[in-house]
Amino acid sequence: MGAFKETKLPADAPAAQKALGWVDDRFPLSKLWNDQWGRYYAPKNFNFWYIFGSLAMFVLVLQIVTGIFLTMHYKPDANLAFASVEYIMREVPWGWLVRYMHSTGASAFFIIVYLHMTRGLLYGSYRKPRELIWLFGFAIFLCLMAEAFFGYLLPWGQMSYWGAQVIVNLFGAIPLIGPDLSLWIRGDYVVSDATLNRFFAFHVIAIPLVLLGLVAAHLIALHEVGSSNPDGIEVKENLGPDGHPVDSIPSHPYYTVHDLFGVSVFLFIFSAVVFFAPEMGGYFLEYNNFLPGDSLKTPLHIAPTWYFTPFYSVLRATTADFMWVLMVAVAAYVSFLWLKSKLAFRTKAVIAVIAIVAIVGMLPQVLDAKFWGVVFFGSSVVILAFLPWLDHSPVKSIRYRPDWHKYLYALLAVTFVTLGYLGTQPPSVIGTIVSQVATLYYFAFFLLMPWWSEMGTFKKVPDRVVYAAH
């Protein structure tokens, strides 16, 4: 091992500089700052879509800090949980503010993450060489869903109790292992004190630890290959005399100011919601959650929080009648694969066998629609992970794709919002039909992407980034 060498600074150097030098000799603080932000060069044509990554980090810190203060007064006990939340709201100094910041922060987190993912879709941020960044981001999204699910039960209100009951029971639809899996998740035969304790442990300790590790991996992977940009150009391919890309600028101070402005706007909107509309008309905090959980009184309409409802609508859309439509859709898709796909014959044969087994399984005499609802519910989330391999477009950014591609993306956004809204509403005949059509489009968008993403006349991608409006 080499001898320890201490950095020599002038005797009249400021005390802060000496302190930093002392730390740097023992821990690479300045190196970490420079590598990950201070001297990290990013494309100079970022627009407002690129503030949501830093905003997500900001809200994560906000949720951790407010969560720590809430756990100081919260009681993870079925007999005391609801009362402890009321105590926080009414008796703890500024407790109401911390609780509303945490509950509003949960919804804000998902809004920001959905917008962050939308930017990835628009500008092809998941394309080579950023596939691993996308997969880490997808894993973060799964962790957020788990974190929100486990935290949803903790207030022990009516909607918390019954929403958790419904979601846990979904796992019971899985053949063979379903009932045992539901029992294991609950820790009891019904949602009870055992469920509350394990959900509290997952929400406060287990999931946040995994989440922080994934966020670190996401950022390290991002800074290893470099950020994408609205033009979809790899700026690292055009280096200047100083060894840095000619179309990039240091993140600090340029994007520090850029992100701080985004945080300022966010805090203005966030504060307005926290102080004036924390329930957001029942979408952020439902009316039934201000009533204590009662196992003997079922709410008229049970639905998860809004950020789960697009996927929940997919589950509800999978009715017994709709199964026949899905059978035809699966058969048509496999036939299309055989005719149009360049896959090897053996791969096509395997897909065909799987499809035949699935179609047989969709028959009402074999597996009921509830099981397939859970399958499509899970598939609607998991399919996002395969985007890097589904998109075969010759360009990354939506700016240089055919105009009709933009309409497909716009229709996907409308579909997602529609599914989300319908998931918050009581079931109806018209709502079910609309959600079924929306479900078909949602899956068709991704499953047919390898073909439609290559179609049309593409605009020429410039050699360097541009600033003109598109």
Annotated binding site: 102, 116, 203, 218, 223
Helix (H, G, I), strand (E, B) or coil at 325: helix
CA–CA distance, 309 with 293 (Å, rounded to integer): 21
- Which tokens hold the place of 244? 């840095």
Residues comprising the binding site for a ubiquinone? Answer: 223
Residues comprising the binding site for heme b? Answer: 102, 116, 203, 218
Length of the chain: 470
Q: DSSP label at 142? A: H
Give the CA count within 13 Å in the CB-facing half-sphere of 48: 7
CA–CA distance, 189 with 43 (Å, rounded to integer): 55
Give Cβ neighbours of residue 82 (< 8 Å, ≥ 6 apart). Answer: 155, 156, 157, 292, 293
CA–CA distance, 42 with 62 (Å, rounded to integer): 26
First-to-last C-alpha distance (Å) of the chain: 57
CA–CA distance, 246 with 248 (Å, rounded to integer): 6
**220 and 132 in contact (C-beta within 8 Å)?**
no
CA–CA distance, 284 with 278 (Å, rounded to integer): 7
> Which residue blocks in 289-428 are alpha helix, DSSP H?
309-317, 322-340, 345-361, 369-382, 387-390, 403-424
